[in-house]
Structure 1
Amino acid sequence: MVLDPHRWLELRRFRGLYESGAMSLREIAKETGLNRRTVAKYLSGETPVAPPKRAANGQPRRLAVDEVAPLIDAMLRAEILLKGAVVHERLVAEYGFAINYQRVKMYLQEARPRIAEELGISPGQLAGLHRRFEVVPGAQAQVDWGDEGKILAHVGIPKVYSFHMTLSYSRDPFCCFTTSQDLAAFFDCHRQAFAHFGGVPMSIVYDRTKTVVRRHVAPGEAVPLHPEAVAFAGHYDFDPDVLAAYRPTGKGRVERQVLIIRDHVLAGRAFSSIEELNSAFTAWVPLRRAKVHGTHGEVIGLRAVRDHMALRPLPQIPYVVAQRHLRYVGKDCLVAFEANLYSVPALRVRPRQLVEIRATKSQVSLHSTSSDHRGGTLLATHPRAVGRGARVVDETHWNGLPTGAGRRVTAGGELSAPRRKEGQDPGPDSLVALLNRAAATQVEVGRRPLSVYDELTGTRPFTTHPSTEETS
């Protein structure tokens, strides 16, 4: 099999990656759309790769990308870091060229260094460049998580996370600490940030976290948002802005803040609770706002005033995000959620009944899947447990179940007496039972030789040893 020129060009660029071990045959086959055996045959060097065929006049055959090459070069001269997906999109939408995206990517690999050289940009500079953007007051905030590890492990909290939101115009920071990164905690931190700033920015930049993005998609496709993220953003009237994959510079302002807070708030200090961590950040904020920022050259606090004034107002009713899960009721009237157990009323459930759990950051409520005669579904409400292995039980939920208080044992005869209630005076019968029990311990037990029993039964003795005796 001889590859056509397009396939030859496409496969040739993977040879160095394959030989260096950066890509496997399977990955190259998936990228090129070729069979894995074909890729292995041509990259192994056993089969020479045929060069591109030439036209009848001896000149190289013209490729489809050659027609749009001047346009691509012009785009790169205007913006050297323009992404291949954007170039392909504009060629199709604005110029009507039906060209393959892979052809555009291959051409950019050759054209970008050439255009950069024309513009006086070295290859090393090209690799580290990114586009800086500026925004108007109140227009944007950036959000990120920080993993603070076992900072509270000595008090039984295995993991602590820091939530960060930074206003892009002023770099005014917000941070709070939590033990979870789930949906309820994520948007509860948003509410705290909005209260801290006194309003809501017009847009918030996220990476592709699972609390915002429902699933990952290929580059160029629309990112499907999590339904709760859409509802939360609609309630607070801001636009979620999800970064493209592998674009850490897209929210560099908040990522820098994560490191700053670790250095200025956490480093060299010991804490014993989440509240102490949050208080330490609150005490540090005035110091941060008094600094002159190295990029915009203004005092952060003064610039933050303009940022806060441009924010959108907070709604009167907060949006409460709750995780929803279905769980079964155990025979002990306990429901398992996140490795913890929560009780439900025994008189309102049955074993293996399916109940719905609605969990917020601080509370867990358990609901029946069908309403009662009053139209309600709530079975129980508990504070949310921290960590794993906790039992959160309301003792009244076990009312109506056997307690085992009526259990009695007897030895038979006069040695047993009825169980006396607490506070009741012992009667004469109780005294007699005690005397009988004491007298029974003084009974002497007689001993006889086994031969006596042999004579009575007329059987041969089991042993002839004269000293063998049995207690009678």
Structure 2
Amino acid sequence: MTESEKMEVRRMYQEGVSISELSRRTGHDRKTIRKVVQEQEDGKKPLSGTKRKGSKLESYKPYVEQRMRFGVLNAERILREIREQGYTGGITVLREFMHPLRPVVSAKATRRFETGPGEQAQIDLGAFPYIDTEGNRRTLWCFAMVLSYSRMLYLEFIKASDQLHILQALRNALEFFEGVPKTILSDNCAPLVLSNDGHGHVDWQPVYLDFAKYYGFVPKACKPYRSRTKGKIERPIRYIRDSFWPTAFVDLAEVN
């Protein structure tokens, strides 16, 4: 084992990775790993009478468990939070601790569908609850539009999820992109869709249909209960929610 490998083994051991796990990761037997972690940094004198330090994560585990119970499952976000509290360890030991606590999710494979430049954009709306300065529970809505080919993204927080606010945000997005895609794929939210039989026939809200004709795009809706059809736009909403929310802000302009 090289000196750099030994240093890496010692580092991971100090972060709480077990002898058995280190053996599995490096391919060396446990006896060799144990000898490495017991040596002093000069690699000559064994550490006598010393005990292994506890994991740097130990005192933060209750906080991590609490955050996960509240639905915060992003390790990078939790790492930022506990580092603000004084945690000095790495993300590897945090992920290993979080892994068995995560809910088991099984999903069917979804075929990836790609489009050419200018062919398609996808839009979505996500709810972002917060507590105002008077202690009242309120909600902002994040409108998102992504160009399917380039993945160029537009986000705008709006006060309501009604048709007026959605179409205003969509108009702002088209102006931001300085162009209009051939089709815009959405889910089946009531401000845009009256009904969708799941077999290709969609009854659109008349105002949205007029909006589409004016700007020159074809509206399309994903099949009911198949939101993964527009997976390109689902990921940015999830990323904003996991990594940046909740956040402190004064007004809508500041959060945008």
Class of the TM-score when normalised by the shorter of the 2 chains: 0.5 to 0.7
Residue 231 (structure 2) aligned to one of 240, 252, 263? 252
Distance in 2 (alpha carbons) for counterparts of 1:242 and 1:170: 21
Segments of 5+ residues of structure 2 without an aligned counterpart are: 1-105
1:269 maps to which residue?
247
AA aligned to 1:230 is L
2:145–2:233 contact (8 Å) kept in structure 1? yes
Q: 1:257 to 1:150 in 2, by over 3 A?
A: same
AA aligned to 1:277 is V
Q: 1:144 to 1:225 in 2, by over 3 A?
A: same
Residue 210 (structure 1) aligned to one of 190, 198, 202? 190
1:15-34 to structure 2, matched below 5 A, reads none
1:227 to 2:197 alignment: no
Q: 1:277 to 1:210 in 2, by over 3 A?
A: same
2:129–2:137 contact (8 Å) kept in structure 1? no
C-alpha displacement of 1:141: 0.7
Greater helix share, 1 or 2? 2
1:198 to 2:188 alignment: no
Query: Helix, strand or coil: the match of 2:202?
Result: coil
AA aligned to 1:271 is F
C-alpha displacement of 1:261: 2.2
AA aligned to 1:236 is Y
Query: Helix, strand or coil: the match of 1:136?
Result: coil
Distance in 2 (alpha carbons) for counterparts of 1:128 and 1:166: 24
1:270-419 to structure 2, matched below 5 A, reads 270-278=248-256
Aligned length: 150
C-alpha displacement of 1:170: 1.2
Q: 1:270 to 1:142 in 2, by over 3 A?
A: same
Query: Helix, strand or coil: the match of 1:186?
Result: helix
C-alpha displacement of 1:132: 0.8
C-alpha displacement of 1:131: 1.4
Q: 1:220 to 1:162 in 2, by over 3 A?
A: same
Distance in 1 (alpha carbons) for counterparts of 2:200 and 2:221: 12
Larger Cα-atom Rg? 1
AA aligned to 1:190 is L
C-alpha displacement of 1:246: 1.1
AA aligned to 1:227 is P
Residue 133 (structure 2) aligned to one of 138, 151, 154? 154
Query: Helix, strand or coil: the match of 1:132?
Result: coil
2:154–2:173 contact (8 Å) kept in structure 1? yes
C-alpha displacement of 1:127: 6.0
Distance in 2 (alpha carbons) for counterparts of 1:247 and 1:190: 22
C-alpha displacement of 1:177: 0.7
C-alpha displacement of 1:245: 0.8
Distance in 2 (alpha carbons) for counterparts of 1:240 and 1:262: 27
Distance in 1 (alpha carbons) for counterparts of 2:198 and 2:144: 27
Segments of 5+ residues of structure 1 without an aligned counterpart are: 1-125, 279-472
2:81 maps to which residue?
none
Percent of aligned positions that are identical: 34
Distance in 2 (alpha carbons) for counterparts of 1:183 and 1:227: 11
TM-score by length of 1: 0.30
Residues 397-452 of structure 1 deviation map (CA, whole Å, 9 limit, x = unaligned): xxxxxxxxxxxxxxxxxxxxxxxxxxxxxxxxxxxxxxxxxxxxxxxxxxxxxxxx
Distance in 1 (alpha carbons) for counterparts of 2:125 and 2:156: 10
1:40-119 to structure 2, matched below 5 A, reads none
1:172 maps to which residue?
152
Residues 340-395 of structure 1 deviation map (CA, whole Å, 9 limit, x = unaligned): xxxxxxxxxxxxxxxxxxxxxxxxxxxxxxxxxxxxxxxxxxxxxxxxxxxxxxxx
C-alpha displacement of 1:221: 5.8
Q: 1:270 to 1:250 in 2, by over 3 A?
A: same
Distance in 1 (alpha carbons) for counterparts of 2:180 and 2:108: 33
C-alpha displacement of 1:236: 0.4
Q: 1:235 to 1:132 in 2, by over 3 A?
A: same
C-alpha displacement of 1:211: 1.4
Distance in 2 (alpha carbons) for counterparts of 1:234 and 1:193: 17
AA aligned to 1:189 is A
C-alpha displacement of 1:244: 0.9
Residue 218 (structure 2) aligned to one of 232, 239, 251? 239
Structural RMSD (CA): 2.1
2:130–2:246 contact (8 Å) kept in structure 1? no
Distance in 1 (alpha carbons) for counterparts of 2:164 and 2:114: 31
Query: Helix, strand or coil: the match of 2:203?
Result: coil
| Higher RCO (CA 8 Å, separation ≥ 6 residues) | 2
Q: 1:219 to 1:139 in 2, by over 3 A?
A: closer
Query: Helix, strand or coil: the match of 1:205?
Result: strand
C-alpha displacement of 1:128: 1.5
2:120–2:183 contact (8 Å) kept in structure 1? yes
Q: 1:269 to 1:211 in 2, by over 3 A?
A: closer
C-alpha displacement of 1:191: 1.0
AA aligned to 1:170 is S
AA aligned to 2:185 is V
Q: 1:147 to 1:268 in 2, by over 3 A?
A: closer
TM-score by length of 2: 0.54
C-alpha displacement of 1:195: 1.6
1:415 maps to which residue?
none
Distance in 2 (alpha carbons) for counterparts of 1:127 and 1:160: 29
